[in-house]
Amino acid sequence: MIILVTGSNGFIGKNLIVRLQQRDDVQILGYDINNTLDELNAWLDEADFVYHLAGVNRPRNEEEFFTGNAGLTSTICERLAQREDPPPILLSSSIQTELDNSYGRSKRLAEEVVARYGEQTGAQAIIYRLTNVFGKWSRPNYNTVVATFCYNIVHDLPITISNPDHELELIHIDDVVRAFLSEIRDQRSEVGGRRSEVKFREVGPSYRVTLGRLAELIRSFRESRKSLIVPDLSDPVVHKLYGMYLTYLDEDDFGYDLEQRCDHRGCLAEFVKSEPFGQIFVSRTKPGITRGNHFHHTKTEKFLVLEGEAIIRFRHTGDQRLMLGAAEVPEGITPSHATSGVGGGSGREQSEVGVEVIEYRVSGEDFMVLDIPPGYTHSIENVGEGVLVTLFWASEVFDPERMDTVWEEVSL
């Protein structure tokens, strides 16, 4: 199937072509401003489906709205109508057709041209009225205010907001492309005198956000490298907007350093955090060093050794033998005793006061995760010859005013 995409180097065209290239049943022809009219005519004679995305929205003068939108559309439809098998055409239009401005009028005229083409030839005529499309490869100061905000905030440039309460309706480029791809049909065998109904489409879902909120979100993305706070990705517009924001980073600015806190034991760095999720941090621990020896009342953690050998120890802080004192251990209570396991195994050891200590020996080769329940004092000891690298997750963001960390030795 041969597919022609006009406006192939534009924002929507680039995203559409990348998705089309993932298919093995299509041949793609891309027309843009650098191509000739002869090339366009030749490709219009071959195409089985036409995506007409080319248009003008930032002209040097008002007349270019009509030559670049309605005029080009007329040229395309007139050429297609001369074929014995006129192919389907999909027009990328705008909700501004409902407004009385030059751009809106020129897009409305283009819609009328496509509608007549469908009515006169029987070919499918599909018109998408798009609102503010955002996503990767959108040009700042050209396509949308979203792209301009992202670019300027990434590069520490000022942005202008005349009315922070002004609300935008946004649709994401991936949803646009998904809708466009759903229209592909090989309809050559269906044309034969059939009258076509012009189809007007909209893309969903759409998202409403004020200019003030938009700027606030994008600034928070920039700040996240310092605060380490991950955006609320459960909100679909935040999820998609954050991905778009990252595409405006300069290629030599993809990486950034974490703040490390180092002492005689090694180094530790926080990685990412959020209130609903908690936080992730990573540590390097020197041989023979033990970290931890504390417990939490509510907070939970997960330990994952990435490199090296470690023993992770637990002791229940509510054991009655400790609360009553070693001499007051009730008769008949004798904890089990076992040798520590190796390579992900677990075991138990008896403390001097008869309270059991649970041990897990873990290796970076195993990718074994240890859950740290509340009420268990715990520690991690580097028992290998090299540096121990451990990834930690905590269910709460660290708050020095409310640490929920009680220092208590595991081994007594």
Q: Note if 103 is an active site residue.
A: yes
Q: What distance in Å separates the CA atoms of residue 46 and residue 205, rounded to the nearest whole number?
A: 34
Catalytic residue among 31, 103, 207, 245: 103
Q: Which CATH architecture has domain 260-407?
A: Sandwich (2.60)
The pair of three-digit structure tokens given for residue 2, joined into one six-digit string? 């041969």
Burial (CB count within 10 angstroms: exposed 0-12, middle 13-18, buried 19+), residue 401: exposed
Residue 339: pLDDT band (50, 70, 90) is very low
Instruction: Name 109's Cβ contacts closer than 8 Å, sequence gap at least 6.
Output: 66, 69, 70, 73
Q: Where are the domains of the chain?
A: 2-136+158-206, 260-407
Q: What single-letter amino acid sits at 189?
A: S
Residue that is written with structure tokens 């030559």 in the block: 67
pTM: 0.85
pLDDT at residue 401 tops 90: no
Q: What distance in Å separates the CA atoms of residue 354 and residue 349, rounded to the nearest whole number?
A: 9
pLDDT tens, residue by residue, 181-214: 999 964 444 444 455 678 999 999 999 999 999 9
pLDDT tens, residue by residue, 222-256: 999 999 999 999 999 999 999 999 999 999 999 99
Q: Does domain 2-136+158-206 have CATH number 3.40.50.300?
A: no
Per-residue pLDDT, 158: 96
pLDDT tens, residue by residue, 53-103: 987 555 565 666 556 678 899 999 999 999 999 999 999 998 877 777 776
pLDDT tens, residue by residue, 261-297: 999 999 999 999 999 999 999 999 999 999 999 999 9
Q: Do domains 2-136+158-206 and 260-407 have the same CATH topology?
A: no
Rg of the chain in Å (alpha carbons) = 32
